[in-house]
Structure 1
Amino acid sequence: MSTGNLNYQFARLNTAEKLIVINVAVYIIHALVVYLFALNGNAIVRWFELPADFFDMLSQPWSLVTYSFFHGGLLHLFFNMLVLYYVGRIFLNLFGNRTFTNVYFLGVILGGLLFLLSYNVFPAFMGGRTSLIGASAGVTAVLIFVCAYMPNQEVRLLFFNVKLWHIGAFIVLMDLVMITADQNPGGRIAHLGGAVLGYYYARRLLNGQDIGKGFSALLDSLASLFKKQEKKAPMKTVYRKNGKTGKKSPDYQKESRQRKIDAILDKISKSGYESLSKEEKDFLFKAGKED
């Protein structure tokens, strides 16, 4: 398969699927490099993991995000990516790729910050040299977002149906309990940071406020730094015809489309996803792909 074909196939994936591909690729490449060059297992990871010491983190600030692309083992990677795949499908049926990116990476960041805070404030954690890796905080943020946005929606879990808020409550409760019993309390704390972000984002969005707009603007600014400046097109003289064209303005079309999306999301929050008609589901799916 050619490089161009691979790029095309990758471009067709949604954001959740792209994150899965990137995480798997990082795991495989890291494992191969460590093996082929007979390196210590931590020789590469230490530059990307999030250290518990605040001043160590300041020397590698990128680790507040990059820690999420490395995993401690195959099972760690597998279960994170499995949950991300299924929850991502539900999420992206409701919202676009940009909202997903906001929730996921803000969850990663808040999970990392809560980890740092805990290991520099609470005596139970202070003194130990540890670090954080794994996508769990971002995955938990997406999962809890879905559970908080449509809590009464039922999903099939093994042999019985269960409401999403039951799943979310169980996961948060388990992380709280396992902080004192687990050998990896830092990971549990990061999960809780992601859960807080996911819950708060969903509840604010239900009230009409998207708390991720500033983060989206930051990502757009960073992306623009890597794009080549487009050549200015030669100036053209444009003649405007008098009279109405009979076409709706783009702003009107955008507002009309957004009102329809809001109405469908309100219906989901009150009656669940299954209450939607086939036309409404198709419209929501297409809208998510266009965002």
Structure 2
Amino acid sequence: MSLLTDLKVKYKIAPIHEKFIFVNIGIFAIIAVFNAIFFLGTKSHLTLFSEYLALPENLSKILFRFWTIITYNFLHFGFWHLLGNMIALYYFGRIFLTFFSVKQFINYYFLGGIFAGIIFIISYNVFPALINENAILFGASASVFSILLGATTRSPNYELNLFGVFKLKLWVFATLYVISFIALIPLANTGGQLAHLGGVLLGYIYTKQLDKGNDIGKGFERLTRLFNGTKSNNLKTVYKDKSKVGGYTKGEFSEFNNQKKIDVILDKISKSGYESLSTKEKEFLFKAGK
């Protein structure tokens, strides 16, 4: 199988937080390639992505670049910025999925980023210290901290085993982050810190509303298909196979056997990793995922 096919299979079987990591890394790689080619050809830096994918503070620019309230959540220009956010997304995402569904993960990610973006825009048009400043917002951190606070609000006493050395309750860990964001506002990356706090606030509010029975992000569930590979439930005409053996049709037997094969392969991946699969197993899993 080709590298591209391997990546497709890994994406299909990955949990939702890893799918988001795939997307973030993929976008970073594409931008890096374009930036490198542009620099080698012109000896200047390409500003296209920062201008049209990052979120600007200027209201007139936002009016004609409204999509940036979404795209900035997947935009990274520095390797260390990307690495830090993806490590956090991996670990916070695992904790989050202990208490929430895949659909809710998607909702928290997008709504956390959108709310953080709104806080960023308001801040640069309201606070005297920022009104005359030019800035752009990019990176997944606000969404990541929305996910962290969502999990923290649901289970504040969840214990983190840091480096296998000492344990720390989740609420303490999250509180330290929030304090650091506030402390850094006058020192560095003011807009970014305010956006972080926006993501934090959304994560807290969302979970509190869920506890009351209100899902404020229900409208974003359509995006589940994009990241989770959910197929549409279009109506189809089904012609039944009337020839049965032991009460089951040939198609039902085939479906049962295929599912058993998938279960065996997934169990092998969980124990030995994706690379332990044979070429035939990888091809079977890829076809089954279509």
1:189 matched residue in structure 2: 194
Q: Is the 8 A contact 2:145 2:196 kept in 1?
A: yes
Query: Structure 1 residues 215 and 153 mapped into 2: Cα distance closer, same or farther (>3 Å)?
Result: same
Q: What do the CA deviations read for 1:35-60 (whole angstroms, capped 9, x no partner)? A: 11225242322110000101111111
**1:99 and 1:14 mapped to 2: Cα distance?**
13
Alignment of 1:78-89 (within 5 A): 78-89=83-94
- Verify: 1:201 aligned to 2:202, yes or no: no
| Alpha-carbon distance in 1 for matches of 2:186, 2:92 | 28
Shift of 1:71: 1.4
163, 168, 175: which one pairs with 1:169?
175
Pairwise CA distance, 1:214: 2.9
- Per-residue CA deviation, residues 118-177 of structure 1 (Å, 9 max, x unaligned), is 001111101122110100110010011111110012211243211111111111111011
Aligned counterparts, 1:82-121, within 5 A: 82-121=87-126
Residues 163-214 of structure 1: CA deviation (Å, up to 9, x unaligned): 11111111111101111111x1111111001000001111222233222213
Return the letter of the residue paired with 2:195.
Answer: A
Structure-2-length-normalised TM-score: 0.73
Aligned to 2:21: 20
SS in 2 for 1:181: coil
Picking from 40, 44, 48, the partner of 1:43 is: 48
Aligned match of 2:35: 34
Structure 1: tracts of 5 or more residues without a match: 238-291
2:85 counterpart letter in structure 1: N
Change (3 A) 1:30 1:221: closer
Distance change >3 Å, CA 69–CA 58, structure 1 → 2: same
Aligned to 1:68: 73
d(CA) in 1 for partners of 2:215 and 2:97?
A: 16
Match of 2:143 among 134, 138, 141: 138
Tell me by how many angstroms 1:228 deviates: 9.3
Amino acid at match of 1:233: T
- In structure 1, what residue type is equivalent to 2:192? G
* Alpha-carbon distance, 1:221 to partner: 10
Show the counterpart of 1:233: 237
In 2, the alpha carbon distance for the partners of 1:166 and 1:19 equals: 26
Equivalent residue of 2:109, what SS? helix
Paired letter, 2:198? G
Counterparts in 2 of 1:232 and 1:205: CA distance versus 1, 3 Å: closer
Alpha-carbon distance, 1:29 to partner: 1.4
- Given the superposition, is the C-alpha separation of residues 35 and 221 from structure 1 closer, same or farther in structure 2, using an over 3 Å criterion? closer
Q: Which residue in 2 is equivalent to 1:122?
A: 127
Cα RMSD for the two superposed structures? 2.4
Change (3 A) 1:11 1:221: closer
Tell me what 1:266 maps to: none
Q: What is aligned with 2:61?
A: 56
1:238-262 C-alpha deviation (Å, 9 max, x unpaired): xxxxxxxxxxxxxxxxxxxxxxxxx
3-state SS of 1:46 partner: helix
- More deviation, 1-10/97-106: 1-10
Structure 2 stretches lacking a partner, 5+ long = 241-290
SS in 2 for 1:37: helix
Change over 3 Å in CA distance of 1:221–1:72 after alignment to 2 = closer
Residue pair 2:152, 2:171 contacting (<8 A) in 1 also: yes
